[in-house]
Amino acid sequence: MSHLEIQQINKSFGVNTVLNDVTFSVEEAEFVALLGPSGSGKSTLFRIIGGISQPSSGSVNLNGENINGKRGSISYTPQTSSLMPWRTILDNVLLGQEITGNRDVEKALQMIERAGLKGFEQSYPHELSGGMQQRASFIRSILSPQSLILLDEPFSALDEFTRLDMQKWLLSIWSEYKRSILFVTHNIEEAIFLADRIIVLSSRPATVKKEFTIPFARPRDEAILLSDSFLQWKKRIYQEMREQ
């Protein structure tokens, strides 16, 4: 049984169909990238998985249980770091736990140190760089009790160098804590470098065009970014995306 199953989701607003028969799954502790052009209905899909809006038809199952319209079952990290500016980093990181119940300050401090944010526990988000804020908001997701993490283009606002560092950091944290991750991006390289599986979405109405299983062994080194097979993959996926 898969961890998250998206079954034949359709969503239309009036005559405008946004999602058309979207079906895919995420296994336990798997890293899945959702690749699609901007405006392909990814955020609508996220709203449905997060339970904020209802699909026109189809179902979302988590651990075999239907979670259509049920909030709080997944942990979500938006595009911008979305830390609350009036909370210190420590309080921000604990927010996910606070909503569902207990604060575990000890573990939070540990994670903050692990993310290289030691000394910033009592700082406010505006005192941190973009990459640091993004790391803090990712810690918030890891600390939240939900076992599935949705990442919505988390690195799109960062520059190339910071992004690569963040990708490596994300992989190392993920291999340690083993959560299921659904990662949305429109960057092909990023998807290949990070994911176990890539799901390519077509543009409106969004539907699953193709699924690729990425064979690169873990832990992955940034050296593979320049290897021939990596470029082959990039080419294949690029061609797939170009075909309409």
Partner 1 sequence: MRKLFQKGWRPALVLILLFIIWETCTNIFDIQKWLLPAPSQIIAEAISGWAVYSGHLASTIKLIIFGFSIGSSIGVVVAIGLHLVPILRQAFYPLLIISQNIPTIVLAPLLVIWFGFGMLPKIIVITLVCFFPITIALLDGFRQTNRDLMHYMQMAGATKKQIFWKLEFPHALPSLFSGLKISATYSVMGAVISEWLGASKGIGVYMTLASSSFRTDRVFVAIFLIVILSLLFFSLIVGLEKRLIKWKPKEEGANESS
> DSSP 3-state assignment of 10?
strand
Residue 198 to residue 131: CA distance in whole angstroms: 24
Binding flag, residue 99, partner 1 (CB under 8 A) = yes
**Dihedral angle at the C-alpha atoms of 227, 228, 230, 235, nearest 10 degrees?**
150
Residue 5 to residue 18: CA distance in whole angstroms: 19
Nearer to partner 1, 37 or 78 (CB): 78
The CB-of-24 to partner 1 minimum distance in angstroms stands at 19
The CB-of-86 to partner 1 minimum distance in angstroms stands at 4
Q: Which stretch binds partner 1 (CB under 8 A): 10-18, 90-98, 162-170, 202-210?
A: 90-98
Q: Which stretch binds partner 1 (CB under 8 A): 98-106, 180-188, 195-203, 204-212?
A: 98-106
Q: Which residue is it, tokens 């405006």?
A: 39
Residues 171-210 that bind partner 1 (CB under 8 A): none
- Chain centroid offset of residue 213 CA: 17
In angstroms and rounded to an integer, the radius of gyration of the C-alpha atoms of the chain is 18
The CB-of-103 to partner 1 minimum distance in angstroms stands at 13
Query: How far, in Å, are 26, 64, 112, 231, 237 from residue 5 at the CA level?
Result: 7, 8, 32, 30, 23
Q: Which stretch binds partner 1 (CB under 8 A): 17-25, 27-35, 65-73, 231-239?
A: 65-73
Q: Which stretch binds partner 1 (CB under 8 A): 95-103, 110-118, 179-187, 226-234?
A: 95-103
Nearest CA among 37, 46, 32, 34 for reference residue 2: 32
Binding flags for partner 1, 129-168, as an x/- string (CB under 8 A) = ---------------x-----x------------------
